[in-house]
Amino acid sequence: MLRLIVTSSTYRQSSRVTPALRQRDPENRMLARGPRFRLQAEFLRDQALAASGLLVPRLGGPSVRPYHPPGLYEQVVAGSSAATYVTGSGEDLRRRSLYTYWKRSVPNPAMLIFDVPFRETCSVRRSRTNTPLQSLNLLNDPTYVEAARFLAERMLREGGETPATRLAHGFRLLLARTPRTDEIGILTAAYERAAREFREDPTAAAALLAVGTVPADAKLDPGQLAAFTTVASILLNLDETVTKE
Amino acid sequence: MPEQSYIRGVTRRQFLGRASIGIGSAALATLIQERARGSAGLDGVPHFAPKARRVIWLTQAGAPSQLDLFDHKPGLKEQFDKDLPESVRNGQRLTGMTAGQNRFPIAPSQFKFEQHGQSGIWLSEILPHMARTADRLCVVRSLFTEAINHDPAMTLLQTGHQIAGRPALGAWLSYGLGSENDNLPAFVVLISRPSGPTNAQPLHERMWGAGFLPSRFQGVRFSPGKDPVLFLSNPPGVSTARRRAMLDDVAALNRLKFEDYQDPEIQARIDQYEMAFRMQAAVPELADLSLEPSTVFDRYGPESQKPGSYAANCILARRLAERGVRFIQLYHRGWDQHGDLPKGIRSQCYDVDQPTVALIEELQERGLLDDTLVVWGGEFGRTVYSQGVLTADNYGRDHHPRCFTMWMAGAGVKPGTVYGETDDFSYNIVKDPVHIHDLNATVLHLLGIDHTRLTYRHQGRDYRLTDVHGEVVRALLA
């Protein structure tokens, strides 16, 4: 049944809306276009880990504790053993979100921000909100800052020799398509400005590259890597990146 | 900037919703121009002219003893260590913590009570500051609940139902009334840490959750420290200017996408990134109490210099109210005095008495008390009989859902009032009972909302905060 649905031409049609289609089926009740909605919390994080090459694909095992802001448990938990969140290390930080430790009184905050239910009662449908807290999470959570750095390293290592080919490679890794000329233009300008600024401010570059637990590749030029990290962060925050089309 | 982007072509439903998928109704930019600041609530809400525009709910988690603070029972002195008459308890099921006790010895409050102000409201000696503001209080001595344990009782208080899964009051308000500030969430939660060693009951994030409402209405917990809002700070090495440049690039790429795909959700995302950027400036400014003069800290007392204290959070609550945040909920834990009540409750009163009153007085001086409702209270009351050993100077009290005291002050409530009456043992209500649903209905009424008409369809039926219950308590209205 699922196979029938996902291989149908209705499911596979483009989610692009034309004015004519919008007029005839504004809410897509007649399935005039393909579905287009924001990825669920788990998929968002997994996608960033996978595209950057950080993801540990191993199956099974006990729950793990990925990055988590400090102090959240202490405010609400009563006494005793589970009053502090102890962030995991190594591979525990990079497993699929499916394996993230779940505490009912303080569920993983980044996932809550992206509409994960509290799991207190059954939920047949998640809401799909679009909030500034989500923007802040994708911009600033060390999960995504570290993933951006790794995506940048992949661009440098695998993306050929010019900024344009490297940016196109990062774009393809996340969005599975080749950037258009106007898109690569914006990315190139963003890269050049960031590269210039980080060249002038090596301390800032070093600070950005130090986010996370896996050290940056020392063979790469820090200014250049920081600039690509910035562009990778831009890519991770695009609407198209966080949206299933 | 936000005005520009709204007017540029967001549909009205998108503007109201910013959330759900597959929306595409006609653009109504005229309406948007009226409400460009903040985000609108539902059409037709408020239902009538509100008295209150915002609420500060000072939630005393753990259940403060009404017998030692508000509900003066002078006759109990003579009943010291006598058994609570069975006719009073009348077969009521007790918690597992005292159900096994052989006796239920009456523990009169150890504290002196006096009448205060023109209104002559009785208050305990451990609330000396509250005494000063007695004439502003609207005290309800006859609240009751069905729940006898903290979690279901708090869940009932917040969501109108003992079982988790329904929206919190603050979420209903941000759903119905929207936000008055474009840079801050409409529903903010502050949790304070008791200064003394106490038995603090756990809270749950879902107590300020949105239940089945879209999750953008859920309360946003502000934490003390570097990031009052989660993930607020830029990573190391990323300056504000760098972030701005980066967001411009994100927006430029998203705009290309919008031109191509015409999905209003893309425009909404561009707006959310802008709001995130504004929050990065607005929230640290808001949370930076160092901007307050030292006279303010003097008023709120010695604890107010400690981030995360009840006193510091009261200052923060005032700053949030000044900035138009709709629902500000403080939680102060540590009221669960099963044993050593006199010592524990003194410590709690030390934490809350002075700052609570300083908050009310500051709101009044700044003209905010006229349209801000302040609510103070816990999730149930405590028993007249002692839990554990009763001595001349020590006792404990178990949970008691049949009666407890809360008070309100400010917008639209009758000041200097006492409502409701309990029996000689503060065990059963003898006059004017007020259920949690009635309290919530009254709070909504003050905000201009008919509690029977603020509904949300979920799983085939219309839900509301008060479920199928609740009567507005008109006697409390000014």
Q: What's the mean pLDDT when you consider all of chain B?
A: 90
Tokens of B446: 């003050």
Assess whether pLDDT exceeds 90 at residue B196: no
**CB-based burial, B236-266: b 16+ in 10 Å, e otherwise:** ebbeeebbebbbebbbbbbbbbbeebbbbbb
> What percent of chain B clears pLDDT 70, i.e. is strictly above it?
92
Query: B24–A27: do the CB atoms touch at under 8 Å?
Result: yes
Beta strand spans in chain A (E): 37-38, 243-244
Asked if B252 is an interface residue toward chain A (Cβ–Cβ < 8 A), one would say: yes
Contacts of A179 (CB under 8 A, 6+ apart): A167, A168, A171, A172, A187
Asked if A239 is an interface residue toward chain B (Cβ–Cβ < 8 A), one would say: yes
Q: Does B384 fall in a domain?
A: yes
pLDDT of residue A192: 97
Grouping H, G, I as helix, E, B as strand and the rest as coil, residue A116 is coil
Of A19, A78, A208, the CB nearest to B238: A208
Tokens of A188: 């190139």
Q: Which domain holds residue B83?
A: 37-224+307-476
Assess whether pLDDT exceeds 80 at residue B26: no
Assess whether pLDDT exceeds 80 at residue B102: yes
Assess whether pLDDT exceeds 90 at residue A95: yes
Tokens of B400: 């008691």
pLDDT of residue A27: 78
Grouping H, G, I as helix, E, B as strand and the rest as coil, residue A72 is helix
State the pairing for strand pair B54-60/B327-332: parallel
Taking only residues 129 to 168 of chain A, the set having a beta carbon closer than 8 angstroms to any beta carbon of chain B reads 129-137, 139-142, 145
> What percent of chain A clears pLDDT 70, i.e. is strictly above it?
98
Contact B470, B435 (CB under 8 A): yes
Residue of A nearest to B217 (CA): A129
Query: A186–B253: do the CB atoms touch at under 8 Å?
Result: yes
**CB-based burial, B427-465: b 16+ in 10 Å, e otherwise:** bbbeeebbbbbbbbbbbbbbbbbebeebebeeeeeebbb
Q: Does B293 fall in a domain?
A: no
Lowest-confidence region among A181-190, A235-244, B84-93: B84-93
Query: A130–B19: do the CB atoms touch at under 8 Å?
Result: yes
**If pLDDT is split at 50, 70 and 90, which confidence band does A89 have?**
very high
Q: What is the CATH number of the domain that holds B194?
A: 3.40.720.10
Q: Does B272 fall in a domain?
A: no
- The alpha carbon of B231 is separated from its chain's Cα centroid by a whole number of angstroms, namely 24
Tokens of A100: 């993230």
Assess whether pLDDT exceeds 50 at residue B13: no
> What's phi and psi for B364, nearest 5 deg?
-60, -50
Q: Does B376 fall in a domain?
A: yes
pLDDT of residue B38: 60
> What's phi and psi for B48, nearest 5 deg?
-150, 175
Q: Is the dihedral of CA B286, B290, B291, B297 positive or negative?
A: positive
Asked if A209 is an interface residue toward chain B (Cβ–Cβ < 8 A), one would say: yes
Q: Does B31 fall in a domain?
A: no
How many Cα atoms are found within 13 Å in the side-chain-facing hemisphere of B216?
22
CA atoms of A151 and A145, how far apart (whole Å): 10
Burial of B127 (0-12, 13-18, 19+ CB in 10 A): buried
Grouping H, G, I as helix, E, B as strand and the rest as coil, residue A219 is coil
Instruction: Report whether the peptide linkage leading into residue B46 is cis, meaning its omega lies within 30 degrees of zero.
Output: yes
CA atoms of B8 and B255, how far apart (whole Å): 11
pLDDT digits (tens, 9 = 90+) for B424-466: 999 999 999 999 999 999 999 999 999 999 999 988 899 999 9
pLDDT digits (tens, 9 = 90+) for B351-395: 999 999 999 999 999 999 999 999 999 999 999 999 999 999 999
Lowest-confidence region among A23-27, B50-54, B144-148, B446-450: A23-27
**If pLDDT is split at 50, 70 and 90, which confidence band does A79 have?**
low
Could you give the number of structural domains in chain B?
1
CB atoms within 10 A of CB B222: 25
Closest CA to B474 of B404, B413, B429, B430: B413
Assess whether pLDDT exceeds 80 at residue B172: yes
Assess whether pLDDT exceeds 60 at residue B22: no
Contacts of A200 (CB under 8 A, 6+ apart): none
pLDDT digits (tens, 9 = 90+) for B451-462: 999 999 988 899
Q: How far is A134 from chain B (nearest CA, A)?
A: 8
- The alpha carbon of B353 is separated from its chain's Cα centroid by a whole number of angstroms, namely 17
**A99: DSSP letter:** G
Taking only residues 275 to 304 of chain B, the set having a beta carbon closer than 8 angstroms to any beta carbon of chain A reads 275-276, 279-280
Q: Does B262 fall in a domain?
A: no
Q: Does B239 fall in a domain?
A: no
CB atoms within 10 A of CB B295: 7
pLDDT of residue A81: 60
Contact B420, B429 (CB under 8 A): yes
pLDDT digits (tens, 9 = 90+) for B220-248: 999 888 889 999 999 999 999 999 999 99
Q: Does B467 fall in a domain?
A: yes
Query: B236–A208: do the CB atoms touch at under 8 Å?
Result: yes
Assess whether pLDDT exceeds 90 at residue A114: yes
CA atoms of B381 and B138, how far apart (whole Å): 18
Tokens of A160: 């050929």
> What percent of chain A clears pLDDT 90, i.e. is strictly above it?
71
Of A112, A129, A230, the CB nearest to B19: A129
**If pLDDT is split at 50, 70 and 90, which confidence band does B5 have?**
very low
Predicted ipTM beyond 0.90? yes
Lowest-confidence region among A100-109, A180-189, B413-422: A100-109
Contact A204, B237 (CB under 8 A): yes
pLDDT of residue B139: 98
Grouping H, G, I as helix, E, B as strand and the rest as coil, residue A120 is coil
Which of A135, A141, A188 is the mutation pick for testing B, counting most B CBs within 10 A?
A: A135
> What percent of chain B clears pLDDT 90, i.e. is strictly above it?
78
Average pLDDT over residues B100-119: 96
SS3 of chain B: the string is CHHHHHHCCCCHHHHHHCCCCCCCCCCCHHHHHHCCCCCECCCCCCCCCCCCCEEEEEEECCCCCHHHHCCCCHHHHHHCCCECCHHHHCCCCCCCCCCCCCCCEECCCCCCEEEECCCCEEEECCCHHHHHCHHHEEEEEEEECCCCCHHHHHHHHHHCCCCCCCCCHHHHHHHHHECCCCCCCCEEEEEECCCCCCCCCCCCHHHHCCCCCCHHHCCEEECCCCCCCCCCCCCCCCCHHHHHHHHHHHHHHHHHHHHHHCCHHHHHHHHHHHHHHHHHHHHHHHHCHHHCCHHHHHHHCHHHHCCCCHHHHHHHHHHHHHCCCCEEEEEECCCCCCCCHHHHHHHHHHHHHHHHHHHHHHHHHCCCCCCEEEEEECCCEEEEEECCCCECCECCEEEECCCEEEEEEECCECCCEEECEECCCCCCEEECCEEHHHHHHHHHHHCCCCCCCCCEEECCEEECCCCCCCCCCHHHEC
Q: Where are the domains of chain A?
A: 58-135, 138-244
Residue of A nearest to B269 (CA): A130
Tokens of B241: 């200017």
Contacts of A181 (CB under 8 A, 6+ apart): none
Tokens of B38: 């903040």
Contact B373, B52 (CB under 8 A): yes
Asked if B190 is an interface residue toward chain A (Cβ–Cβ < 8 A), one would say: no
The residue among B123 and B183 whose pLDDT is bigger is B123
Query: B253–A183: do the CB atoms touch at under 8 Å?
Result: yes
